[in-house]
Chain A
Amino acid sequence: MLLCSRSRDLNRSKDWVVIQTVEKNVTSIRLKIQQIIDNVKTLPSNDSFSVIVKVVLAVLLGLLIVYLVTLVVSENPQEAFKAFITGPISQPNRISDWITDAINLTMLGLAISIVFQANQFSLGAEGQLIFGAMAAGAVALFLPPFTGLFIVGLIASGVAGFLWGVLPGVLKAYLGSDEIVSTLMLNFIAVQIYDFLLQNFFMPPGAGAILSDVFPAQGLLPVLGGKVRTSAGLIVAVLAVIIVWAMLYRTPYGFNLRMSGFNEKFAQHIGLNVKQVIWLSMAVSGIFAGISGGILAMGVHTRLVQRISGGMAFEGIIVSMLAQNNPLLVPVAAVAYSYLRIGADVMERTSDVSREIVIVVQAIMILFLTVQALPRIRNLRLKYAFGRKKM
């Protein structure tokens, strides 16, 4: 009898232990979840010091490469390099070029930063930009002109970019097709469709060159400024930066997007609709790439031309990487990077060095920025300051 009750007590205490450990586990899991959520809230949370060092080093490396190449290639390297460094600010119209370029790079950088934050890889900005330009052209040329036509054009270009982004997004999310290859294929397809429509519908009959008519005045972006001028695209870009930041950091959708980018499996387990996040991230990214196309058509070229993007869309990747996918830093990166681009342009016009050098620099900067193993700079610093303990 005694034995029996004792064993029952034992059993009971065993149960008690089990219950306690389960509770402990539950609280620890809850804490972990809280931790992860906190982490996501403060993204990007990677070591900001070494990030800054890395970005600065990448830009310096780029400058160094240009300098070395001009030394080797040019007959007058000092002049060429001076043109590269001071070119963008040497004349008012070059400053205008610089600002205009930075506006487009900001839009493209924003587009890429959205997909990168969702941990996806869209290379489709090119196609989205082209379709955006085409939609803006269609609005400007085929709608009856009225004040504010350019706003309709910008909206149309955003919608076109969105739709061209839905396609790879849905293919990836619901049909499991690789988004890198699919977005690239869609770029090639977009270029051909654009060419076809331009030659058969936009080109005025009997025109010698493959160009559309110049848009009516209402279909052009208003010009801002005097000597140094730019288009109303500047306002669009500033608004876009604020919108993307607010969307990513102040809406549930942005939270879901960053969460699934941070840890897709975890996001799935806590019940987020990861598939929706994936396709929407690509489509929303398309809006900004599309508007960038609209700005190019209505603010820069003032008509539709062949190869309207000029391969610019890939520049969004380097801008977003320089900005660490942070929408607030994208315009800073865009201004800095377009300085290099316009500098290379000026250098090509005034010296014997071709502007393609900046493409090489871009590639090397991307390589440098993706490196993970090298710069644990903060750790290194601590190691040298305090010995091995602080590792």
Chain B
Amino acid sequence: MSVFNQSRQNVIRLTFAVMFVVIIARLFSLQVISSKYKIMADDQGKFRKVVYPDRGIVYDRHNNVLLQNTTIYDLMLAPNKLKGVDTLAMCRILDIDTAQFNKRVVELIIKNGRTRPSVFEPLLSDSKMAMLNEVMYKFAPAFYLQERSVRSYPYDAAANVLGYTAEVDTNFLKKHKDEGYVSGDYAGMTGIERSYEKVLMGVRGIEYWKRDNKNRLTEKLENGKFDTAAIAGQNMHTSIDIELQELGEKLMQNKLGSIVALDPRTGGILAMVSAPTYKPKFLSGSERRKHFSELFLNPALPLLNRTVGATYSPGSTFKTLQALIGLHEGVINTHFKVACSGAFYGCGTGKPKCLDKGVFDLRGAITVSDNTYFATVMQKVINNPKYPTIDSSLSNWDRYMYAFGLGHRLGVDVPAEKKGFIPTADYFNSPKRYGEGRWNYCNFVSVSIGQGEVNVTPLQVANEMAYIANKGWYKTPHVVDSIEGGDKFNMLAAFKEQHNAIDIPDSVFEAVHDGMEGVVERGTGLGAKVEGISICGKTGTVENYIGLVKQPNHAFFCGFAPRDNPKIAIMCVVENSGKFGGTYAAPIVGLMIEKYLKDSITGTARLAQVEQLSNLNLIPARIYAAIKTQDSLRHLKDSAYMVAKGYLKGIKDTMELEQDDESDLLDKIKKDADSTTKKELPKKDSNNNLPGMNTDAVLPNEKRKTEPKDTVKN
């Protein structure tokens, strides 16, 4: 009977076949044509895990390790396994209450979900770690420990030079957009950790992992076929002498100020002490949370590297440079004598005064630091008839200053270097200052003795000593001498270059050396004297003001040793110590030189002097007052309170580097004197405080009382 419907079998076959063709066509479009599903699959099924290499190790000049890596642990939690865990015991170990515990768990679940392990307590301290280690099995598998590499500092010294690493903030990410940083990464924030970040960070590795539907990493994709290995950061050798650095920090205890010691032949920095400082481990690993805001808020600014980030009037240390200019310009010779009857009357004001009355030649004037002599020398330089206008003669003087390494950044490899200030004709010509043609030498006579409109950093002073020691050249001061595995980023080439912009004959330097040797042998710097070493030095006693209120003098001492074939150029400043440069700064320099050249300080008297100087407290009273005010504000230990109350405009972790270009100043100094172009730059610089830090309370912008437009607020 079914014969009638025989043909229907083909209809059925066709129907079946058509349906399968439709399915295969759809599969073709899904699998071959469309690429969207492959991308989606990679997004959810694969995970690109970044493997962080160890940061490079930093050595000092004797191959002592200054900075290395150590392992610390994060406490991890997988919230879905929390059931049955003795949370109370965990609370007790971590020293939190159950409410905090629950809050943290909820936060983690919101952030990363239930099944994915997240960091419950980062960077466990040693004591918590010790407690946890024994009982960790009780908390498994909900809690476990995860290793992390952090920086460790074998010496409790050189914090400001080495710097610290910290988690990058949004600002940092914005600036380093294409360098592969992601939030949560650590990067060098200050010191050479920052300037050599590229060298130290190494090359990150990438591992590809499979990920499951709960976002857990299950296994490596194809057994790691596509992975790239991480390459550790390069190790660096520095010129720091860690023992000298430690001695320097010891001597500068309980003081504000700096010591910078250089090897004049190489420009390598031997010691770079900024006081007060902090223990570098305070800003690493688990300690950081405890100490950062305290250090940040401290009115004495321990986080500021004063050696490059603070500027002072150089005081009498400036006179050596005036002598060089005077001799080389030919306005005086070594036998040129000036009589001092108590003051400089060249401008009719009786200023500046001089302390030692008498008649001095160049050497003698340096030795006793005679103000009148150098006021006269500079007057001769500025009013030299060889130059048609005062603009051109001042510009000529600026040229010398620039050659000596002043008025511009030296280019040291420690970040946040300031450029200081050297007055230019344009600066005085500015209508806001005196106006064109309305000024003469007498308006800035105090510059001749290193007061008034001149600012330098301690590093610049030390470098200027290296320049004098080398008789006319210097190499850019630097901390890092060499990089293991080669200088791939060409960061060290600039330090090999010798700077001698103006060729001054050795005989000129000999005269200045004579005078400087006299300073230590019989002059104002007797305190620096070291048995058996010929030291050339110069004291400085710098008057300074906060607003119009005179503060105790800064004590300066700079010098180099030994006189022949010098091995160390050094400067020391003790802020607001009162008295004279020779009183506090000179003995500190003497001890540093002895330590470096003789390898150790010998003799009970000398050792006693070390102890006595390190115990001496010269921190000015205003710092204590500021601390007291701050403490009374800080009801809660919480810095958030201060932010909320408006005492603090939010904590900024990184110190901003000054990015503005200094090339225009360079141009300016090279330019001929009768250039009429006006530049705003020097003016702006003179009022420039440390950006990013509220420093005015501590570091006074040194101003003369005579200046009419003094608006520095404190």
Q: Do A and B come from one complex?
A: no
| A residues adjacent to B (C-beta < 8 A) | none
- Interface residues, chain B, with chain A CB atoms under 8 Å away: none
